[in-house]
Structures are given as structure tokens and as C-alpha cells.
Structure 1
């Protein structure tokens, strides 16, 4: 799933080399933290959070097929 998130996010940012994902797994959930350069945060979030919502929708849909835990995607600032 980490590589999937990177494949979605890297094309939309100006500094794809600085994009990274950390995974934290609990008993009932998995949290992915997305880190991008400060100047790329706006591109990942988008106007009114539309891009972030779209990324989360795709990630949650893909994870639902492979994971049996609740998935969270956080965009770290």
C-alpha cells in the first residue's frame, strides 16, 4: 500500500524525491502518514481539500480489498 500511495502522490508534487510514507499498525487499524515538502502541501490537499479527499477515497477503496482493518491516511505537515 505504501508504494500505491507514493505512485498517486509523486506525480502531483514538485519534489517527488521528498515524498515518503510511514505505516503504523494497531490491532484494529492501520495509519499511513504521508510526508511531503512544505511547499507541496497545498498541491496534495487541493482547494477545499478536494485532492486529499480523492487520494483518501482511492486509497481506502484499494485497501478495502487487501486489508481487513480500518485504514487512515494522514497528511503530515
Structure 2
């Protein structure tokens, strides 16, 4: 899942070297914490959160095979 998030986010940002993805796993969910450069936050979130919503939609669609754990994405 980390590779999918990287493949989506890296082309969007101007500072790809500052993209950091941390993973926290709990009983019923996995949370990915995405940290980007301050100038790139708007590019990852998009107007009215459209890009962030699209990224989350792709992650949920990719997770259909492993339905026992829900995937969340936090953009910091």
C-alpha cells in the first residue's frame, strides 16, 4: 500500500525528497500518515479536498482483497 501512495503522491509534489509515509497498525485498521513539504500540502489536498479524496478512494479500492483491516490516510 505504501508503494501505491508513493506512486500517486510523488508526481504531484515539487519536493519529492521530503515525502514521508509512516504506518500505524491497530487491531482493525491501518493508518498511513503522509507528511509532505509545507509548499506541497495544497497540491496533495487539492481544491476542496478533491485530490485527497481521490487518493483515499484509490486506496480503499486497492484494499478490497484484505477487507478485515480498514485503511486510513492522514495528510499532515
TM-score band w.r.t. shorter chain: over 0.9
TM-fit CA distance, 1:4: 1.0
The secondary structure found in structure 2 opposite 1:12 is coil
Task: Report 1:66-77 matches (<5 A).
Answer: 66=66, 68-76=68-76
Aligned-residue CA RMSD (Å): 1.0
- What is the number of residues matched between the two proteins? 76
TM-fit CA distance, 1:67: 5.2
Which structure has greater helix proportion? 1
Ranges in structure 1 where 5+ consecutive residues have no aligned partner: none
- Give the TM-score of the pair, scaled to structure 2: 0.93
| d(CA) in 2 for partners of 1:71, 1:38 | 24
| d(CA) in 2 for partners of 1:21, 1:66 | 20
Ranges in structure 2 where 5+ consecutive residues have no aligned partner: none
